[in-house]
Chain A
Amino acid sequence: MTAAPASLVWFARHELGLFWRDFVAMMTAGRPRRAAVLVVVLAIIVAVAHLMAHALIAPWAASGIAEDKPTLVMLSGGGVLFFTLMLSQAMESVTRAYYARADLDLILSSPASARRLFAVRTSAIAVTTMALAFLLAGPAINILVVESGARWLAAFGVLAALSALATGLSVLITVALFNTVGPRRTRLIAQVAAAVVGAGFIIGIQAAAIVSYGSWSRLGILQSDWLVGMAPGAESPLWLPARAAMGEAGALMAVMAVGFGILAAVVVATSSSFGRHAVAAAGVGVGQTRRVATARPFRATSVKAALRRKEWLLIRRDPWLVSQTLMQVLYLIPPALMLWLNFGQAAGAFVVVVPVIVMASGQLAGGLAWLAVSGEDAHDLIVSAPVTARTVLVAKIESVLVAVAIVAGPLIVAMGFVSLPMAAVTAAGVVLASGSATTIQLWFRAQAKRSMFRRRQTSSRAATISEAFASIMWAGTAALAAAGSPVGLLPALIAVGVLGIAFVIRPRESF
């Protein structure tokens, strides 16, 4: 069947074809064997995720899941945290749809309808947001289906509706920003907001874990009598999504109608302005007042110092990068607060804090290492300079580790006043996580522009997964070591294994 040129179906087919080719290229990188390895790795991850979900959910399901207020509170609380993640993903994607040039100039300069393109791209964003949600929540839902009945399959419908709602809200926020602050500031504000909203998910989980310290469940706060008592009655429409997830047909229909209805209404209402906003976004930077650097005399410096200074200067001057870097610091706020509140009290409570600091340091180091090692705008200049590659790498690694030390150092010092062993364990974890993340970025280094930073996760899935896994495992090691458990050796061995796998599958250098 052939679709009429520039029709909705025609655009959808074009976008789907491009997506599929990108996906295949990303998965295989031209090597079918790599795809097989990735499938095996993904299968292992999915299996581990299901095992973890089983450990968390099976005891709850075994005791019988009643449709009572505590259950509705817990499901809704978890759902709200999860929705922040979906909203963050959708906001990031919607902003990209307006600002990424790629083929937009070609399509907007053609007589084809920009409204149709917008409708297709917005739908694609909803689908990818849904795919992410299914990937993350899928294991938990599958376990619920197995342990508590097929009615839980309805939770997938709720996720789809929430994805549509998140996409619709993201479009509304972006268009509102265009109309209020203009195209020049919309991108930065939207992306920072997306990152903050996304951080809300992590911070929410952390906060719940910290407040629930002492109970084995990370979301114990959602089951507290205080919260359940404060919540509205079980008949409140607030619980519709939770009821829908539990398989109540009427609630599911209502939730899906609201989610998809809002998306459809937003697309219809805003698609006519898409072309106008996209053209305005394309004009950003043209005729812009240039920023002026402070004039100062040249400083005597070594090659390494020049390289380090350049890295720090470029990070400091890029508001987007600063916001992304600070996002990692944002994750440290709950543990920092806990340190502050419990200062001088039992050191045992800080077991919760240790993995957060280690994990955040690993993630921060990974991001900065990508910027320093791969995100080099003047790659040829650096390589053609009379400096050994080793000197350049050492200087760049130093710049990363110093930045991590500046962020994690004060927390470790503060912890040292309470418990020296705990601080030592945290420091060791930070060094191992940062070192692993930096090493992985070195193995997977590629030539890219710094502006590609937000797409670094998609440029090498293997690097991203290894980096995250290694950080998680070092965080686990540090937490268990801080708790004095000998089991801590197990995640440490897994972290070393992850590094080993990353080393084996690293791309071979072209020169």
Chain B
Amino acid sequence: MNETALALDIAGLSKRFDRPAVDRLDLKVAGGELYALLGPNGAGKTTILRMVAGLLQPDAGTISVFGIDAKRRPVEAKQLIAWVSDEPMVYDRLSPLEYLEFVAGLWGIEARTAERRSRELVDWLGLGEVANQMCGGFSKGMLQKVALAGALVHEPRLIMLDEPLTGLDAGSARQVKDVLKAKVAGGVTVIMTTHILEVAERMAERIGVISRGRLIAQGTLAELSETAGRSGTTLEDIFLELVARDESEDKTDLESPAA
């Protein structure tokens, strides 16, 4: 991987709550890549992305976004990032266009540019008919699309999404996937967490498997199946094998006298 073209470079990242949530994690994602983070519940996927987005302060480690130290220069790093939470961050009493105007204001986008982009986005995401209706009462899928439009209006170079397809109907899920693919084709880097392994298998160029706050494997599907020693099987089988192996290693560590 070309180190100079890295969209995200994480080294030794740690975060502890009542137990280690992220444990000395190293992760590199290239520019223009679609990278999927998989892991069991509580593995630390969301915590990693929240630290990159500046929503959590790491205990240790470094985060670099397109060469910018996100801990030392957070505002500059955030200028390049968009974060889409699993719970859409939308105001009930703003319309999609008003919401996009507000987000554009936060990112300092010039008004005319912001309006043009916003109108394009609401049309692209099929929100044209509700562009001036207040978001209260929108379905989860519509809210997720409004949030996604908010993430795109400032044209970020790195988009991070936490479970972007959870709770969406087939049509909305397809729309979101198409948007993400189009963005990656345009050179944007996308990192997303997902529990839908089929989505990771079909969309992601590389997949990282997180367990107990550590990156236990990463690579293409073929590389992962090699790591798991289960060639020709599905990502689900590979994932379950890798996680089970990690958990059994953990038990062995705890049971050994040295531990």
B27 at interface, CB cutoff 8 A: no
B21 to chain A, nearest CB (A): 13
Residue among A294, A297, A377 facing the most chain B CB atoms (10 A cut-off): A377
Instruction: Let me know if A298 and B112 touch, CB within 8 A.
Output: yes
B98 touches A313 (CB 8 A): yes
By a CB distance below 8 angstroms, the chain A residues around B137 are 285, 288, 290
* Chain B residues whose C-beta falls within 8 Å of the C-beta of A314 in the assembled complex: 91, 93-94
**A310 at the B interface (CB under 8 A):** yes
Minimum CB distance partner of A388 in chain B? B75
Interface residues in A270-303 (C-beta closer than 8 Å to B): 285, 288, 290-295, 297-303
Taking the complex as formed, is A384 at the interface, i.e. its CB lies under 8 A from any CB of chain B? yes
Contact (Cβ within 8 A) A378 B89: yes
Q: Check if A293 sits within 8 Å of B106, measured CB to CB.
A: no
B75/A293 in contact, CB under 8 A: no
One of B31-39, B127-135, B176-184, B245-253 contacting the partner: B127-135
Interface size class of B (residues with CB under 8 A): 35 or more
CB distance from A318 to the nearest CB of B (A): 6
Chain A: CB-nearest residue to B81: A384
A197 to chain B, nearest CB (A): 27
Candidate in A379, A381, A388 with the most chain B CB atoms within 10 angstroms:
A381
Residues of A within 8 A of B218 (CB): none
* Interface check B236, CB cutoff 8 A: no
CB pair B105 A290 closer than 8 Å: no
**Is the contact region of chain A dominated by helix, strand, or loop, or is it mixed?**
loop
Q: Contact between A290 and B53 (Cβ–Cβ < 8 Å)?
A: no
| Nearest CB in chain B: distance from A496 CB, A | 32
Distance to closest chain A CB from B122 (angstroms)? 12
Q: Is the CB of A382 within 8 A of B56?
A: no
Partner of A381, one of B103, B130, B132: B103
Q: Please give me the residue from chain A that is nearest to B150 by CB atom.
A: A381
Q: Are B133 and A292 in contact (CB under 8 A)?
A: yes
Question: Does any Cβ of B come within 8 Å of A146's Cβ?
Answer: no
Contact of B134 among A317, A385, A387, A388 (CB under 8 A): A317
B226 in the interface (beta carbon within 8 A):
no
A-contact bits for B62-88, CB 8 A (1 contact / 0 none): 000000000000011111011101000
B84 to chain A, nearest CB (A): 9
| In contact, B89 and A381 (Cβ under 8 angstroms) | yes
Does B26 have its Cβ within 8 Å of any Cβ on chain A? no
- Cβ of A300 and Cβ of B111 under 8 Å apart? yes
Contacts of A16 in B (CB 8 A): none
Docked pose: A386 CA to B83 CA in angstroms: 12
The reply to whether A292 and B134 contact each other, CB–CB distance below 8 Å, is: yes
The complex places the Cα of A291 from the Cα of B94 at a distance, in Å, of 10
| A303 and B106 contact, CB distance less than 8 A | yes
A386 touches B91 (CB 8 A): no
B114 on interface, CB distance cutoff 8 Å: yes
Q: Is the CB of A387 within 8 A of B106?
A: yes
Interface residues in A149-192 (C-beta closer than 8 Å to B):
none
Q: Once the chains bind, are A290 and B106 in contact (CB under 8 Å)? A: no
Contact status of A290 and B136, CB under 8 A, knowing A300-B111, A385-B107, A511-B56: yes
A313 touches B94 (CB 8 A): yes
- Give complex CA distance A169, B203 in Å: 60
> A490 an interface residue at 8 Å Cβ cutoff?
no
B89 near A380: Cβ-Cβ < 8 Å: yes
Q: Say whether A295 contacts B83, CB under 8 Å.
A: no
Does A298 contact B114, Cβ atoms closer than 8 Å?
A: yes
A305 within 8 A of B: yes
A interface vs B, CB < 8 Å? 285, 288, 290-295, 297-303, 305-307, 309-310, 313-314, 317-318, 377-388, 511
Top 7 A-B pairs ranked by shortest CB distance? Answer: A306-B105, A378-B89, A385-B106, A386-B78, A298-B115, A317-B93, A386-B79
15 contacting pairs across A/B (C-beta < 8 A): A290-B130, A290-B133, A290-B134, A291-B93, A291-B134, A292-B95, A293-B94, A293-B133, A301-B105, A313-B93, A379-B89, A381-B106, A384-B53, A384-B82, A384-B83
Given contact pairs A298-B114, A383-B53, A384-B83, enumerate 5 new A-B contacts (beta carbons under 8 Å). Answer: A291-B133, A293-B95, A298-B101, A381-B103, A386-B108
Which residues of B does A touch, CB under 8 Å? Answer: 53-57, 75-79, 81-83, 85, 89-95, 97-98, 101-108, 110-112, 114-115, 118, 130-134, 136-138, 150
